[in-house]
Amino acid sequence: MAYVLRARDLNLQREVAIKVMRTNLVQQSEFRARFLQEARAAANLSHPNIVTIHDFGQDGDRFFIVMEYVEGTDLKTLIHDQGRFPMNDALSYMMQICNGVGYAHRAGLVHCDLKPQNILVAEDGRVKITDFGIAVTLATVQPESTQDLVWGSPHYFAPEQIMGASPSPATDVYALGVVLFEMLTGRLPFEADDLMLLAELHSTVSPPSPLEFVPDLPPAIGQIILKVLSKEPAARYRTADQLGRVLATFIEQSVQFGETAQHAPSAIPVEADTVPVVAGPAPFRRVDYVAVVLGLLAFIAVGGLIPLWLWACMLYPSCPLLLR
């Protein structure tokens, strides 16, 4: 509903991006409200992995948002150009995405339109999330309400989103699962030219395991993605933060045991309040020699006081040791 221009802020002498609403939509109040909502929603978010909003304004019949300019490209273009990503690269990007989306969730916002096109990747590898045009404030969500008009991108829709149900952070988590699947395999879990068929696939058909397309992926990664792509929101990770912690646990375990991607932990690492973390050989615990030496010195010091006490006691006739 808008186009984006690269511009220069003459006052602050910096490059910016200006998002301008298309003139044919200006007269439609719903689109104007969405455009203003994007500016307000993102303006209240200050995070390294979210595009910063600098200003919002109107010039005649043109509405515009001034935002941070990101030198780089979007994640969809990278997937198109590179195909599937190495696992470490995909997890690095997803960890940053989870950081940004998790921050939005903690601020009470659900993005509702997460897709690679809305994820910018700077030249230095930093990830920036943009386009909060259909974001929903959790405080305004009515759990039992439904929507007749569904906004967003069908390839990344969560099943409840397709049904018009109220979104939740788990709705964003589903979209993140689709994005991670796409980065690791170079394709989407569900593909169809007909939008109704695509919606049915997301709603009723079990997603394929990414290992079907990339057999050398660790089984734990496949399990994590399948959990995230569960049809029921309650079966997924609750927030992007929780998904990020699970991925961090997987990475830590892989590094801890010195395992390659092909031999990484085979069981899904989850948080302690759900299921125990994947079992593995206990790491060797190094002996703290400093503590051992200090303990011995303390023992010697205390033990050396006993003869000194006995000698001092014997000097006095009232010493209980001299009494018969």
Check whether residue 221 and residue 124 sit in a common domain: yes
Q: How many domains does the chain have?
A: 3
User: Do 95 and 27 touch, CB atoms closer than 8 A?
Assistant: no
DSSP code for 131: -
Q: At what angle do helices 240-256 and 87-106 cross, to 10 degrees?
A: 150
Check whether residue 77 and residue 192 sit in a common domain: yes
**Is 271 among the domain residues?**
no
- The length of the chain is 324
Check whether residue 201 and residue 244 sit in a common domain: yes
Q: Is 61 a catalytic residue?
A: no
**21-25, 105-109, 251-255, 272-276, range with greatest mean pLDDT:** 105-109
Per-residue pLDDT tens digits for 266-299: 566 655 444 333 333 333 344 556 666 677 777 6
Which CATH number do you get for residue 62?
3.30.200.20
Check whether residue 236 and residue 298 sit in a common domain: no
Mean pLDDT of 185-191: 93
**Is 254 among the domain residues?**
yes
Check whether residue 258 and residue 239 sit in a common domain: yes
- 303: containing domain: 287-324
**Is 132 among the domain residues?**
yes
**Is 50 among the domain residues?**
yes
Q: At what angle do helices 219-228 and 169-185 cross, to 10 degrees?
A: 140
Check whether residue 11 and residue 40 sit in a common domain: yes
262, amino acid identity = Q
**Is 280 among the domain residues?**
no
Check whether residue 102 and residue 182 sit in a common domain: yes
**Is 103 among the domain residues?**
yes
Whole-number Å distance between alpha carbons of 145 and 86: 41
Check whether residue 113 and residue 58 sit in a common domain: no
User: Do 232 and 202 touch, CB atoms closer than 8 A?
Assistant: no
Using the structure block, give the residue that is written with the tokens 């939740």. Answer: 168
pLDDT at 92 over 60: yes
Final residue before a domain boundary, out of 31, 51, 68: 68
Final residue before a domain boundary, out of 34, 49, 68: 68
Whole-number Å distance between alpha carbons of 321 and 233: 78
Q: What pLDDT sits at residue 226?
A: 95
pLDDT at 120 over 80: yes
Final residue before a domain boundary, out of 37, 68, 99: 68
Which CATH number do you get for residue 214?
1.10.510.10
Q: What pLDDT sits at residue 177?
A: 96
Check whether residue 55 and residue 110 sit in a common domain: no
Q: What pLDDT sits at residue 151?
A: 55
Check whether residue 20 and residue 7 sit in a common domain: yes
Containing H/E element for 103?
Answer: helix 87-106
Check whether residue 63 and residue 78 sit in a common domain: no
Check whether residue 162 and residue 311 sit in a common domain: no
Whole-number Å distance between alpha carbons of 131 and 118: 6
User: Which has more pLDDT, 207 or 1?
Assistant: 207
**Is 53 among the domain residues?**
yes
Active-site choice (9, 89, 113, 241)? 113
User: Which has more pLDDT, 167 or 210?
Assistant: 210
